A = this chain, B = another copy of it.
Amino acid sequence: MTDSLSTGPICPIPISQRDTIIMGHGSGGKLTHDLIKNVFQRYLSNSFLDQNDDAAKIHLEPDGCMIAVSTDGHVVKPIFFPGGDIGRLAICGTVNDLAMVGAVPKYITASFILEEGLPIETLEQVLSSMAAAAKEADVFIVAGDTKVVEKGNADQIYISTSGIGVVPKHHSSICGKNAKPGDKIIISGTLGDHGIAVLSARNELTFDVSVLSDIAPLNHLIGALLAAAPHTHVLRDPTRGGLGTTLNEIAQQSQVSIVINEISIPVKSAVQAACEMLGFDPLYLANEGKFMAIIPADEADPALKCLRGHPYGKDAAIIGDVHENDPGRVVLKTPYGTTRIIAMLSGEILPRIC
Contact = CB atoms under 8 A, between A and B. Distances in A.
Interface stretch (A144-152, A207-215, A230-238, A267-275): A144-152
Interface residues of A, number: 82
A112 B314 CA distance: 35
A134 B158 CA distance: 25
Contacts of A316: none
Contact of A72 (B72, B130, B145): B145
A277 to B, nearest CB: 25
B148 A44 contact: no
A130 B40 CA distance: 11
A56 interface: yes
Interface stretch (A20-28, A291-299, A335-343): A20-28
B162 A58 contact: no
Most buried by B among A60, A118, A354: A60
B111 A20 contact: no
Contacts of A40: 127, 144, 146
Contacts of A148: 21-26, 351
B144 A44 contact: yes
A88 to B, nearest CB: 13
A278 interface: no
A249 to B, nearest CB: 15
A149 B40 CA distance: 18
Given A48-B143, A123-B21, A143-B56, A26 B351 contact: no
B21 A114 contact: yes
Contacts of A112: 73
Interface in A55-80: 55-56, 58, 60-61, 63-65, 67, 69-75
A158 B113 contact: yes
Interface string A72-96: 1111000000000000000000000
Given A71-B143, A149-B352, 18 more contacts: A19-B119, A20-B120, A21-B120, A21-B123, A35-B146, A44-B127, A49-B144, A58-B107, A60-B60, A67-B67, A70-B143, A71-B160, A71-B162, A72-B111, A72-B145, A73-B112, A75-B147, A147-B352
Q: Which 9 A-B pairs have the closest CB atoms?
A: A26-B148, A160-B160, A162-B162, A71-B109, A111-B160, A43-B127, A48-B142, A73-B111, A56-B142
